[in-house]
Amino acid sequence: MLTNSNTRILVLDDEPFMLKLLTRMLGNLGYVSVSSCDNGHDALLRVASTQDAPDLILLDINMPQMDGIEFVRHLVEHHFCGSLILISGEDVRILQSVEKLVRAHKITVLGHLSKPVTPERLSTLIELCVPPSQKMIKVAKKVYGQSALAAAIAHGELVNYYQPKVTVATGEVVGLETLVRWQHPQDGLVFPDQFIGLAEQYGLIDDLTRAVLSEALPQARTWQDAGLSLKLAVNLSMDNLVSLSFLDYVVDLTNQVGVPPQQLVLEVTESRLTQDQRVSLEILTRLRLKRFKLSIDDFGTGNSSLAQLRDIPFDELKIDQSFVHGAWDNDTQRAMFDASVGLARQLAMETVAEGVEDRADWNFLRQHDCDIAQGYFIARPMPAQDFPRWMADWEHRREHLM
């Protein structure tokens, strides 16, 4: 079904044959406001015009004078706020790189079309188009000051959400990851990308992590007492691992609360370069000796490298969501996914796939050798009190997923 037949579409391709073909295809699909250009300069004049500026451009990447990548740079200068569909006969990895580049310029890309173009694929992509006037205007994110964040931690405004992890083989719930949120009295629920980096910068990350742990461990104890055997994961910042007092804190707290160290998973990434790797290495190794579980988070991204895997005795490897979601449809991602799993196997580590967003991702995991899955498809992060209801629901759902 046509979402909006009046969507203004501009086709930009240097080959007259392609222009004709695409224009005809669009006409057949019911689009009535279609125009075409065979070079970037003319197309930019259209973009600059106030009357018939396009909502959507079908852009050929390979053009003799101004190529598609250069054209995109000019679109940015023109503050183009419509959408793009990329077209090329090039190999799909080049198309994907260009797509990334365009997104980095904050221009909406609906996807790419490899030649030969089919009407089905074309219409699927155009359906995704939202006219610029209906796009949500993004509000700049607020930057919180040091004293505000310090006060929030001190006044208990941080709350833990928990996201379940299940085994791929049976769907059994084996653990949860703690994800902190800030229940801000005016701004509502604030997500960690808005305050974790600041906490590190302001020297508040130790207080923050202690607040998270001091809520998470009693919660783990409550689940343990209810007869649930669940591992609870908590995210650490590398900055937590610069002083030995952190180690004592974790050990003392788990003892006090009565949670065995094997039940606590510490997820680590290297978001910032640490000054002294010897201290972090010592703390992690001693935590491991004391039977806490160590997990390397975001594996495969710049923050989690082979060098860390070589140096630190991790128990678990979390494959970053950028290699998981959509891997079923992307050869490059799949190669990296398989390589990560292979590496983990050789090092006798468990594997967790993050970012399992839909049924296709889940099916992909079922056909690949990965132990544990986590993602929106299974559950979104939730407050602890919602967990029993989700668990009952999941017991029904999981039967249909095996």
Contact stretch for Ca ion (CB under 5 A) within 180-188, 217-225, 262-270, 362-370: 262-270
Give yes or no for residue 237 binding ligand C2E (CB under 6 A).
Answer: yes
Closest to 176 in 3D by CA, of 160, 198, 159:
160
Residue 357 contact partner, candidates ligand C2E, Ca ion, none, CB within 5 to 8 A by sort of partner: ligand C2E
How near is the Cβ of 235 to Ca ion at its closest, in Å? Answer: 5
* Residue 355 near ligand C2E by CB under 6 A: yes
Nearer to ligand C2E by Cβ, of 47 and 232: the residue is 232
Q: Rounded to the nearest 10 degrees, how much is the dihedral formed by the CA atoms of 271, 274, 277, 278?
A: -130
In whole angstroms, how close is the CB of 308 to ligand C2E at the nearest point?
Answer: 15
Q: Is 235 in the site for ligand C2E (CB under 6 A)?
A: yes
**According to CB under 6 A, which one of 23, 123, 295, 321 is a site residue for ligand C2E?**
321
Tokens coding 89: 């006969």
The answer to whether the CB of 64 falls within 8 A of the CB of 17 is no
The residues, any chain, with a CB within 8 Å of residue 393's CB and separated by 6 or more, are none
235 binds Ca ion (CB under 5 A): yes
Reading the block at residue 141, the tokens are 């994110």
Strands 264-268 and 316-319: unpaired
Angle at 315 between CA 309 and CA 320, to 5 degrees: 65
Beta-carbon neighbour count of residue 218 at 10 Å? 15
| 225 interacts with ligand C2E by CB under 6 A | no
In the list Ca ion, ligand C2E, none, the entry touching 317 (Cβ below 5 to 8 angstroms by class) is: none
Nearest to 174, CA basis, from 183, 190, 160, 163: 163
Question: Which of these segments, 3-11, 20-28, 87-95, 373-381, binds ligand C2E (CB under 6 A)?
Answer: 373-381
Size of the residue set binding ligand C2E (CB under 6 A): 23
Q: Which of 13, 60, 99, 267 contacts Ca ion by CB under 5 A?
A: 267
82: left (phi > 0), else alpha (psi -120 to 50), else beta? beta
188 is an interface residue for ligand C2E by CB under 6 A: no
Measure the CA–CA gap between 325 and 105, rounded to whole angstroms. Answer: 22
Distance from chain centroid for Cα 22: 34
- Residue 193 as a binder of ligand C2E (CB under 6 A): the answer is yes
Q: Which residues bind Ca ion (CB under 5 A)?
A: 235, 267, 297-298, 354
Q: Which residues bind ligand C2E (CB under 6 A)?
A: 163, 179-180, 191-193, 196, 209, 212, 235-237, 267, 297-298, 321, 354-357, 375-376, 381
